[in-house]
Amino acid sequence: MTLNKTRRSFLKTAALGSASVLALPAYLRRANAAQSLTIATLHNDDDPDVKAWNKVAEVVEQKLPGQFSFNIVKNAALGGEKEMTQGIRLGSIQGALTTVSVMSAYVPETQILDLPFLFKSAEHLETVTAGEVGQGLAAKLAKSNFIVPAYINYGARQLLTKEPVLTPDQLKGKVMRVIQSPLHTKLWAAYGANPTGIPINETYNALSTGVADCMDLTKAAYAAFKLYEVVPDMTETAHIWAAGVMSYGAMFWNGLSDDQQEVFTEASKAGCAHFNALLKSQEVEAMAEAAKGGGKVFQPEDRPAWVAGAKPVWSEMADKVGGMEAIEAIANG
């Protein structure tokens, strides 16, 4: 008697549980079965970085409804770029947008995109990364467990200082915060500065406490990290057009079917195109915000001296990035 009663109670509970699940909205039921991706970003909801990943998620959901859910972890909660790339390789992070500079630790040839005064414009950079050069670098990155379906353009890097620096000789002796990349170290050392590698999420404190005197960064990031509060003077050198990659871990990518890989490739290209479009308008807004916060903009003097000071970096890096012929092919393209 008791056993029959218990059995009836169990069946009733199970039936109610099944009914509850079926009562959930369809998209919530799908999410329960979806494969989750952890996406790392340094930024918040308002940044093109996060909006690019939202676009990827939107396209993936349209093409592969219910199969994937995107957990976008914001505001550098999973660390800086170095930690993000390590996480991608280890499989704890499935995807991220990062600069190509941080990828040079794994594929030195990516530094060709960081060479100073190489690109004439945003369009020039985007043409190169979409062509044979970009495809060749993506193939090399794949061997280091980074799958790169598309590139982004973070904008031109500008010099940021505590007082106006208009000529290269004014950099001598200054402690320059640089990306943790050999090329960036060589560039600023060529101008007589003392480069020191500091993660971007630690840069504000380094500048405010005097650990560093100056740095370089894109206009959008300048405002996003409120760096105008500690390095208010921007010299529009546009010395490097900062390329970035949307990358996925090989462990995740290799677990996808051919059809899923095709969709993620399409979605990634759409996300990166969305990023590039947003960035152009964001730069205008960023500079308006910086101006309200005390930021000032200056034009470099003696531009030929800036270019001449950087050109030896081409020769020094040539063997690491595919040779001088490859560099000149981009420069003349």
19 belongs to a structural domain: no
In this structure, what are the phi and psi dihedrals at residue 80, rounded to the nearest 5 degrees?
-80, -170
pLDDT of 39 strictly over 70: yes
Domain assignment present for residue 113? The answer is yes
Percent of the chain with pLDDT over 90: 86
Predicted confidence (pLDDT) at residue 177 exceeds the cutoff of 50: yes
Residue 71: strand pairing partners: 38
Residue 16 belongs to a domain = no
Does residue 18 fall inside a structural domain?
A: no
251, part of any domain: yes
Q: Does residue 64 lie within any of the structural domains? A: yes
Q: CA 302 to CA 310: how far, in whole Å?
A: 13
Q: Which of 25-29, 170-174, 247-251, 266-270 has the lowest mean pLDDT?
A: 25-29
Nearest to 91 by CA among 329, 255, 239, 221: 255
pLDDT digit string, tens, across residues 80-129: 999 999 999 999 999 999 999 999 999 999 999 999 999 999 999 999 99
Q: Is residue 316 a part of any domain in this protein?
A: yes
Q: Is the CB of residue 118 less than 8 Å from the CB of residue 187?
A: no
pLDDT digits (tens, 9 = 90+) for 134-156: 999 999 999 999 999 999 999 99
Q: Are 113 and 179 in contact (CB under 8 A)?
A: no
**Which two structure tokens, joined as six digits, stand for 268?**
């990634």
Q: Using CA atoms, how far apart are residues 166 and 237, in angstroms rounded to an integer? A: 9
The owner of tokens 């509060």 is 229
Element (H, E) at 290: helix 258-292
pLDDT at 29: 36
Give dist(CA 193, CA 171) in Å, integer: 5
CA 108 to chain centre: 17
Q: Does the pLDDT at position 21 exceed 60?
A: no
Residue 58 belongs to domain with CATH number: 3.40.190.170
| Secondary structure letter of residue 77 according to DSSP | T
Q: Determine the pLDDT at residue 71.
A: 98
The answer to whether residue 217 sits within a structural domain is yes
* Cα dihedral 141/146/52/56 (nearest 10): 120
Instruction: Please tell me the distance from the alpha carbon of residue 66 to that of residue 31, in angstroms, as a whole number.
Output: 6
The total number of structural domains in the chain stands at: 1
Average pLDDT of the segment spanning 257-267: 98
> What number is the average pLDDT over the span 39-46?
95
Distance between CA atoms of residues 144 and 161, nearest Å? 36
Q: Which residue range forms the structural domain that includes residue 229?
A: 34-331
- Residue 203 predicted with pLDDT over 50: yes
- Give residue-wise pLDDT tens across range 312-332: 999 999 999 999 999 999 999
Beta bridge partners of 97: 246
Give the mean pLDDT of 71-85.
96
**Which amino acid makes up residue 33?**
A
pLDDT, residue 31, reads 45
